[in-house]
Chains A and B, each alone.
Chain A
Amino acid sequence: EDQVTQSPEALRLQEGESSSLNCSYTVSGLRGLFWYRQDPGKGPEFLFTLYSAGEEKEKERLKATLTKKESFLHITAPKPEDSATYLCAVRGHQGYSTLTFGKGTMLLVSP
């Protein structure tokens, strides 16, 4: 059974204070690791897909990296508008097209 664990559960940063979110996973045959952003009262919004160890993807102040056991979402010089819950998910060999999600990291960036 695929499993995803995210840490920390919540993170509070000052504007401009860089940090990283962690996503540890176990999966039989990784066919993609996905990062989503979820704002309060909204559905998850797709950010990145990573497929193999060593791969990196960037979007504005966000950079996602992948190893064989975990992924990191690095946030550089965050702004208050980066405040959201960040969800990590994996697609394994036996999961057809479905995703298994972690419980998320709630990020609050204070001005």
Chain B
Amino acid sequence: DGGITQSPKYLFRKEGQNVTLSCEQNLNHDAMYWYRQDPGQGLRLIYYSQIVNDFQKGDIAEGYSVSREKKESFPLTVTSAQKNPTAFYLCASSSGYGYTFGSGTRLTVV
């Protein structure tokens, strides 16, 4: 089945630690996106990428980094500079108007 796979489903981060969230798609979509979801705030754009080896900052990129070495993969690293990383993270891809979302990764700081 075509879709987006995010892993892990749950992730725990210690203070001062970097963690990487995985996002893989087999839809052959060019564009990929990372969103952060907090209760009552909708979805906020962290980073997006239109093509391999190119990506752009979204509205809340501080404390995050990404790479796009393959069309299928768009991993997100939450760095220690992100002071409030506890949230639900969603990856999406698109080939035009519609977005397809993954099932998300819930990150918790412990």
A and B assemble together = no
